[in-house]
Amino acid sequence: MSSRRVASAAGSDVSHIPHLLIPGPWDDAALEPGHDASHHLTRVLRRRDGDPISYTDGRGRLGTGRLERGAVVRGNEVSIPRPAMPVLAVAPPTHKDRTRFLIEKLAELGVQELRWLRTRFGEGRVPAADKVEAWCRSAVEQSRSAWMMVVRHDLVDVGDLPEGTVFADRSGRECGALAGVPCVAVGPEGGWAVGEFPVGAHTLAFASGVLRVETAAIAAAVLANRIVG
């Protein structure tokens, strides 16, 4: 069940309520969101004591409480199952702004794990871990998700991808279902080198033209979202 369905089931619109990522464990009746988050709530959003706040630990726990003296007093909480989505293995884009856009959009779309893919023509760099965490946090709070995307910081080789991986390639079959697919691999702007992925591997085309890395990855995430949505 998604966080949106939880809100709908409760019969109330929570889109106007601030949503915070507060990592666990949650051992106390009140949670400290951190100085920056408290400042944003009280000074920027002008929330006051008693105002409702939704929150998540980024690992499936979702709650709605209230603001009291800069802390979040816990209220009703539910556990949201982890969506069964394929891992995305993506060659890093060549520019930081595009990498940030990629991470934020994949996280907003519910991708659960992102791996950086080492390719022969890839020229992009893996972003710093602290930047990635900040971008993922922002995406969780924007999308009101209960799960924070996991981003692996090491590069994975094509040969180490799981059996059954689908490779995004314009010569592949038309866009189809991703049900049961463990991983979708997206290559760099320069395309795949000849023989870079296994002979007989499943390939998938998202458009007739050449897509940017982030466009192809987002298309894969949207398609996967239809399966679990």
pLDDT tens-digit map of 166-183: 999 887 765 556 778 899
Confidence of residue 9 (pLDDT cuts 50, 70, 90): very low
Cβ contact 75:64 at 8 Å: yes
The CATH T-level fold of domain 3-79 is Ribosomal Protein L25; Chain P (2.40.240)
Q: Lowest mean pLDDT: which of 7-21, 42-56, 75-89, 120-134?
A: 7-21
State whether residue 55 is helix, strand or coil.
Answer: strand
CATH 3.65.10.10 fits 87-228, yes or no: no
Interval 109-162: pLDDT, tens: 999 999 999 999 999 999 999 999 999 999 999 999 999 999 999 999 999 999
Q: What is the DSSP letter of 140?
A: H
- Give the span between the Cα atoms of 71 and 29, in whole angstroms: 10
- Render pLDDT for 204-218 as a digit per residue (tens, 0 to 9): 888 878 889 999 999
Q: Residue 219: is its pLDDT beyond 50?
A: yes
How far is residue 11 CA from its own chain's centroid? 26
Quote the mean pLDDT of the chain: 87
What are the sequence ranges of the domains in the chain?
3-79, 87-228
